[in-house]
Structure 1
C-alpha cells in the first residue's frame, strides 16, 4: 500500500504537468520523423542507374547483356539497362544515369585477335563517389568478362571440332558463372552502405535517452512535495523514493521505445525478419534498463554540479 501510494503521488504530479510530457513527446517525435524523412530522401542517392550501349551487336555481346540482366547480381541497389548511344548520353546529362559503358564496335573481333575487350566508360564527373564506384564496377565486370572469355578461348583450343551451338552453350555457362557474385570468379562485391538508416537508428536511441533523462528530471521536480506527504504518514527512505521514480521512468521509457522501434521498422526500407523480434526486444529492454540503472546510481551517489557532469558523461 505504501508503494502504491507513492506511485499515485507521482502520477498525479505527471497529470498536473501533462503539457511538459506533450512538449517532450512532440520534440522527440519531430526528431524521429526528421531522421526517417532524411533517410528516405537520401535513399535514392544510394541507387545506381547504369546504362549499357552495345555498338558491336554481336552474338557474344548479346549474351553478355543477357548474363548481366538488370544488374542485381553485380551489387546491391544496382540497375543496368540497355540504351542506344544518344539515349544514354541524354540521360547522363540529366543525371538520370550515374554513367554508362559502351561495347565498342568490333569488340568481339578485337578479343579473338588481340585478347582485349575495348569497353568505354562515361560518367558526368570524375570526382564523385558514384563515378569512382562506377569505374570500379566496370573494372570488376571487365575482369570477369576477360576470365569468362578466356575460358571460351581455352574451350575452342581444346575442342576445335565442337559445333557452334556447343560453343555458345559453353560461353553462356561461363558468362553466367563469371558474372555471378557468388560464383567461382567472384571479385570484391560492391557495397552501397545505407548510412541514412544508421543515422535514423542512432537518433532513435538518442531519443530514448533524452526521454528517460527528461522524465526522470521532471519527476524530481515533485520530490519535495512527495517527501512532505510521506513524512506525515510513515517512515520512508530517499532510496525508496528514487527507486519509485526509476520504475515509473523505466515504464514510460519502454512505452516510448516500443512506439519508436515500430516506427523505425516500418519507416526504413531495410527488410526486418520476424525471427529477429525476440532479439530486438531483449536488447532494447537491456538498453533501457541499464540506462535507468545508471541514472539511479548517479542520483544516489552524486549531487549538484557533479550530478550534472555525470549525466553529461553518460550521454
Structure 2
C-alpha cells in the first residue's frame, strides 16, 4: 500500500467511525464573506471545545489599501461565545482571492498556523514575480507547521487527516476532521464545478486526479467548500455538499468524465478567465503567512504591482 493509499484509508476509517460514534462528528460553523466569496470555518470537538479555524479572511479595500478586521472579529466573537480553545489556524493553500487574517486571529485566539509543505514552491515562484529579494524566506518558516500528505492532528477526540490535493496550486491540502472534509480550492458546489488550474504551478490533470481522490471517500462524507459564486439559476449562496452529490452531479467532474475531457474543458475555460481582483495583494501577503511586507523606512508597508508580469 502506498503512502497516498494509507492517508486515504485513514481518512475513510475515521469517517466510518462517526457512523457508530456521533461524538466523533465535529461541530462546524461557516462564515461567508460575500466580498471575496470565501467561507471561513470554525471546526470543534463538542466535548473538549478544542477548535481549528480554516481559511480566514482579512478585509482589504484595494482602492484605499486599507485593511480591516470585521470578518475576523466575527470569528473571534464566535470562539469566545462558544468557549472554544483554538489549537490550529489552517490555510488550505496560499489564496489568490483574499488576504489571510491568520496573524490577527493568532494574536487574539492563539493556536498554531499550518499550511501544506509545498508552500515553499509557491513562495519561490511568486518571490521571483514580486522580486522579493533575499530577505524574504522561501522555506515556509512563516508558518508553525508544514503539513505532509497523511499527517494527522486532533481536536479533542476528533481525529484529522491531511490529504495533499495539488492542481489548483502545488500546495493545496484538504483536511478531513471526523466525517467532514474541507477541500479548499479544488471543487465547488456541484452546479458550479471545479477550481481553475492556470496559476503558476497549477496543473489541470493533477487537479482531476486530486478531485477523484477526494471523491473516493465514502459517499456520506460531508464536503465543505472554500468558495461559492452562485451558479446560474441558483439564488442562494451554498458551501456544503457531500461526496455522493459531487460524484453524481458535479458539472465538471462527475462520475464518467474522463481525465482527457476534464483537462480539455478546464484548459479552455481557464483561458477565458480574468485574474482574481485581489491576486496581487493576496499572494504577497499569504505567502508570508498573512503578514504584510516589512514596513519601509517611513513605517508604511507597500504592496507591489508587477506590470505585465502575469
TM range (shorter): under 0.3
Greater per-residue strand proportion = 2
Higher helix share: 1
TM-score, length basis structure 1: 0.21
Structure with max Cα Rg: 1
TM-score of the aligned structures, taking structure 2 as reference length = 0.21
